[in-house]
Amino acid sequence: MTPAIATEGLRKVYPATGRSGAAAGPAVQLPPSASNGAGAGQVVALEGLDLVVNEGEFFGLIGPNGAGKTTTIGVLTTRVLPTGGTARVAGADVVRQSVTVRQRIGVVPQRPNPDRSLDAWENLIYHAAYFGVPRREAARRATALLERLEIADKARMKVDQLSGGQQQRLMIARALIHEPTILFLDEPTVGLDPNARNSLWEILRDLHRQGRTIVMTTHYMPEADELSDRIALIDRGRLLALDTPAELKRQTPDGSLETFFIAKSGRRSDT
Amino acid sequence: MTAMAPILPAASIANPHPPVSAGRVFLALLSRDIRVARRELPFFLVRTIMQPMLFVIVFGYLLPRMGFTQAGYQAALLPGILALSLMLSSTQSVTLPMVTEFGWTNEIEDRLLAPISTNLVAVEKIVNAMIQGIIAALVVLPLARLVMGPVAGFTFSHVPELLVVVILSAAAASAFGLLLGVLINPQQIGFMFSLIITPMIFFGCAYYPWRGLDVVPWLKYAVLVNPLVYISEGLRAALTPTVPHMPLIAIVAALAVLTVGFTWAALVRFRIRAIG
């Protein structure tokens, strides 16, 4: 069976100045004498990352700030061009077949970035249209998603009038409206209250039960523990550990994922 | 949340939706921009009409009645005003949204995630700006004509030339607008208007024909870097051909070269901004 996601030696080095693009966190800034092929001032975000995510798997990605989580999501969602290595999503190469990849994925960004010229409803309808969903069907799906995410009463509001949490729920609806088989979520519960977070967890469990592949980054260890089939801990663009939550926790004296995180990365998870 | 039906139909996993054609995605992107433009119609009209009509009132109505302009000046002015409307509207309708969406809000993200090549997302922006520029010229034409009164030598008899000039002008101005939009950041908008757009307007041969610059030869050749010169002269060649103007073939060639050059540069820069 083709894995949902496979990366081999994935590498991303940002240029020394004027890093552009949406998805990047500070990673490792190289000193002038750096010996790994990158120049002075360049930022190495990913350093030979090998990952395989199976179809239908809920895959948690954890790591300190600047570990390379967002860059990994950026590459896998075709929004960041890798410097080296390969990445395939849904069987398609993220660079050479980016359009095929985009067809299959849904993305919930780290910070809500709705289309501010449109209202909440139109955000969903037009996004669906970009994926070829007929208008009537898009309207049916938008109604169901807004109901389920409990923002149906905000449908005709300009997105600026929505709270941060409501905008985040709109982003989740947007990521789902074209019914992707692989879902990427970059710290999706930041800014959500506990009720909204539980609701989102339920939705993610539901999507997972259906057999959709989910890749989620988080700083919130209970979230990674609760939802993931497997968790990858990355830091400085490298994979430090990859296993089931139970197995990772078994490696610590107190059986806590937080303890594992700190021991492996040498830093605290900044929840 | 209580137990309820799955949020998405399970069938969409076993039978993923078939790929959507690039043409269909392109039209969806365009319909989004047209929706936004329709919503902003009052602002669009003010932005489009205000500046050209103020110039029409002063230069096409007041000064001729005061006797400060020669007979025939209006024939040189009217195509220039239309050129100005077309260029300003095309450029602004793509530059400002691009600066905001890339620089501040990153809200273009949902279109960059659409299943279409990044180049076509950029080309759609150009096509949308072309439509807005052409509409602006169509709105200003009857108003300007109304204020100026009859314009000697004004004709609609050169339709093929007019179509070629209008489409190429809109394309060059829109591609230029996209290039500006992906080059500058939000803090530089004021700088852009003061240093780029305003000199373009005044040295774009909109208020005087290019041949009139025979009196200042160095300026006559210096203004050739300005795309608005070819738009103004092109519309003179098509709408008031009795006014001395550049040869049409030179105008069309220049507009074609500018369109290709601006589009190429804008696409390169757009890709850099869009994909990290």
Contact indicator for B145, B98 with CB cutoff of 8 Å: no
Instruction: Please choose, from the candidates A232, A229, A181, A223, the residue with its C-alpha nearest in 3D space to the C-alpha of residue A202.
Output: A223
- Would you state the pLDDT for residue A20? 43
Give which of B5, B63, B210 is closest to A206, Cα–Cα.
B5
Q: Which has the higher per-residue pLDDT, B5 or B257?
A: B257
Residue B117 has its nearest CB partner, among A14, A81, A99, at A99
From the list A111, A126, A206, the residue facing B32 with the nearest CB is: A126
pLDDT at A23: 42
Gap between the Cα atoms of A217 and A224, Å rounded: 8
Does A156 score more than 60 pLDDT?
yes
Closest to A47 measured CA to CA, from A240, A270, A224 = A240
Distance of CA A234 to the CA centre of its chain: 14
Mean pLDDT of chain B: 92
User: Which pLDDT does position A22 carry in this prediction?
Assistant: 40
pLDDT category of residue A25 using cuts at 50, 70 and 90: very low
Cβ separation of A211 and B10 shorter than 8 Å? yes
Q: What is the mean pLDDT of residues B62-88?
A: 93
A246 inside 8 A of chain B by CB: no
Task: List the 98-117 stretch of A: residues with Cβ below 8 A of B.
Answer: 98-100, 102-105, 107, 109, 111, 113-117
Mutation target vs A (from B4, B8, B120; most A CBs, 10 A cutoff) = B8
Cα gap A250→A254, rounded to integer Å: 8
pLDDT band at A30 (very low <50, low <70, confident <90, very high): low
**Tens of pLDDT along B201-240?**
999 999 999 999 999 999 999 999 999 999 999 999 999 9
DSSP of B137-169: HHHHHHHHHHHH---TT-----HHHHHHHHHHH
Shortest Cα distance, chain A CAs vs residue B12, angstroms = 6
Residue B88 near residue B44 (C-beta atoms within 8 A): no
Confidence (pLDDT) at A193: 86
Stretch B183-188: mean pLDDT = 89
pTM: 0.91
CA nearest neighbour of B236 among B204, B214, B268, B263:
B204
- Average pLDDT, rounded, for chain A: 88
Spatial distance between the Cα atoms of B248 and B233, rounded to a whole number of angstroms: 8
Are the CB atoms for A65 and A26 separated by under 8 Å? Answer: yes
B118 close to B275: Cβ distance less than 8 angstroms? yes
Question: Of B16, B119, B117, B25, nearest to A129 (Cα)?
Answer: B25
Tell me the residue type at A89: V
Cβ-contact B237, B245 below 8 angstroms: yes
pLDDT average, residue stretch B132-149: 93
For residues B78-97, one letter each, b for 16 or more C-beta atoms within 10 angstroms of the residue's C-beta and e for the rest, the string is: bbbbbbbbbbbbbbbbbbbb
Is A108 a residue whose pLDDT tops 50?
yes
The H-or-E segment that residue B256 falls in is helix B248-274
Average pLDDT of the residues in A200-208: 92
Taking residues B240-244, report their average pLDDT: 93
CA A263 to mean position of chain CA atoms: 24
In the numeric block, which tokens belong to residue A97? 């077949």
Location of structure tokens 């990290």: B276
Residue B44 is predicted with a pLDDT of: 87
pLDDT band at A164 (very low <50, low <70, confident <90, very high): confident
Residue pair A72/A30 in contact (Cβ under 8 Å)? The answer is no
Alpha-carbon gap, residue B145 to B156, rounded angstroms: 13
Chain A residues closer than 8 Å to B32 by CB: 115, 118, 126, 129
The mean pLDDT value for B70-79 works out to 91
How many residue pairs bridge chain A and chain B with CB atoms within 8 Å of each other?
137
Region of poorest pLDDT, from A104-108, A170-174, B184-188, B258-262:
B184-188
Cβ contact, residue pair B113, A79, below 8 Å: yes
Helices (H) and strands (E) in chain B, counts: 13, 0
SS3 category, B55: helix
**Considering CB atoms only, which of A102, A150, A203 is closest to B115?**
A102
Q: Interface pTM (ipTM) of the complex?
A: 0.89
B-chain residue closest to A181, CA distance: B13
pLDDT higher than 80, residue A33: no
pLDDT digits (tens, 9 = 90+) for A125-139: 999 999 999 999 999
**Is the pLDDT assigned to residue B243 strictly greater than 80?**
yes
CB-CB under 8 Å, B32 with A118: yes
Structure-model confidence comparison of residues A142 and B7, the more confident one: A142
In the prediction, which pLDDT does B4 show?
A: 65
At residue B229, the pLDDT reads: 98
pLDDT of residue B87: 96
